[in-house]
Amino acid sequence: MSESPLLIEDQGAVRVITVNRPDKLNALNSATLDALHHAFDDAAADDAVRVVVLTGAGPKAFVAGADIAEMADLRPVEGRDFALRGQAMMRRVETLPKPVIAMVNGFALGGGLELAMCCHLRIASDTAKVGQPEVNLGLIPGFGGTQRLLRLAGRAATLELCLTGAPVNAERALALGIVNRVAPAAELQAQTMALAEQLANAAPLALRGVLDCINTGGESAIGEGLAFEAAQFGLMFATEDMREGTRAFLERRKPEFKNR
Ligand code: COA
C-alpha cells in the first residue's frame, strides 16, 4: 500500500490533520482529496474529537493547489469529476458538526485557499500568501473558490483575486476578511492551539448549533434563516450543557460541559 498523504495526531480533544506532501508543496492529488474526505468523516464520528486543526507539512506551504501534474491531461468529464471530488470533500469539512481551524503556514493557492476557506476559522502566518492563480494555467477555480471567496470577502476582492491570479500577503488577506487572524510565523502553532483549546472546552452542542445556523440558515432568505435560528435556540434548552452553563454563570463558577 502507498504511504498516506496525511499525518493525523490527537492533542487532547484537538485532532491535527496535516497534508503531508511537502516535496510537492502539499498539492492536492486524488489520493489526498480522498484521504482528507475519510479523515474528516472519522473526525465527525469520533466523540473524543471536539476541534480539528488542518495544516500543511513543511515550512513553505499550507497547500499550493490542486495537483497540476495530475490535472494536465484530464479530459472534460474527468475535469468535472475531479472538481466534484474536491467539492464533496470540502463540503464535508464545511458541514462538520465541530469547528475546523485552518492553520495557514505558508502558500494557500488555488485548491489550497479553497481548502482553507471551507474551514470555519483561518489563522495565517505572517509569511503566508493566498490567492486563486488558476487563470495563469488557463483554468478557473473548481473546488468552490468563486463561491466561497465571494461569500467571505465580497465581489470586489473575489473578482480581483480570481481575474488577476495574483496572490495577496497575509496582512491584505486579513484586511479583506479572508483570514481571521495573522500570527508571527514562530507563534502560529501556539496561537492556533490556544484557540483550538478554547473551542475544545466550550459546549460542543452550542458550537454545533452555531455552525448549523451559519451553514444552513446563512444560505436561506432572512426569514427562513431566523426561523431556523429560533428553532436551534429552542433545541439548546434540551441540553444539560445549557443548564450547566447558565447555572455556573449564576453561581459565579466555571462551567463543566459534558457534550450532553
Ligand atoms: N501541483 C503540483 N505540483 C506542485 C504544485 C501544484 N499545485 N505546486 C508546487 N508543486 C511542486 C513543483 O512542481 C515542485 O516539484 P518538483 O520539485 O518535483 O519540480 C515542488 O512542488 C516545489 O515547487 P516550486 O515551484 O519549485 O517552488 P517555488 O518556491 O519556486 O514556488 C510556488 C512556489 C507556490 C509559487 C509555485 O510552486 C507555484 O506557483 N505553484 C502552483 C500554484 C498554483 O498555480 N496553484 C493552483 C493550481 S490549480
Task: Establish whether residue 210 lines the binding site of ligand 1, counting it when its CB lies within 6 angstroms of any ligand atom.
Answer: no
Q: What is the chain's Cα-based Rg?
A: 19
Beta pairing partners, 18: 7, 55
C-alpha cell at 123: 489563522
Q: What is the pLDDT of residue 169?
A: 98
Residue 150 CA to ligand 1 center (angstroms) comes to 25
Whether the per-residue pLDDT at 114 is higher than 50: the answer is yes
Quick: pLDDT tens for 22-67.
999 999 999 999 999 999 999 999 999 999 999 999 999 999 999 9
**Any atom of ligand 1 within 6 Å of the Cβ of 102:** no
What's the pLDDT band for 83 if we cut at 50, 70, 90? Answer: very high
**pLDDT class of 2 with cuts at 50, 70, 90:** low
Q: Judge if the beta carbon of residue 92 lies within 6 A of ligand 1.
A: no
pLDDT tens column, 244-257 = 999 999 999 999 99
Closest by Cα among 155, 175, 165, 169 to 133:
165
Closest residue by CA, ligand 1 atom 18: 24
Q: Which of 70, 78, 114, 171 is catalytic?
A: 114
| Residue 52 CB–ligand 1 contact under 6 Å | no
The residue whose CA is least distant from atom 36 of ligand 1 is: 64
Tens digit of pLDDT for each residue in 198-218?
A: 999 999 999 999 999 999 888
Question: Please, which residues have CB within 8 angstroms of residue 110's CB and are 6 or more apart in sequence?
Answer: 64, 65, 66, 131, 132, 133, 134, 141, 145
Q: Which of 3, 70, 94, 134 is catalytic?
A: 134
Mean of the per-residue pLDDT values of the chain = 97
Model confidence at 3, in pLDDT bands (50, 70, 90)?
Answer: confident
Helix then strand count (H, E) for the chain reads 10, 10
Specify the 3-state DSSP secondary structure of 260.
coil
Residue-level pLDDT at 147: 97
21 lines ligand 1 (CB under 6 A): no
Residues above pLDDT 90, as percent of the chain: 97
Residue whose CA is at the smallest distance from ligand 1 atom 20: 24
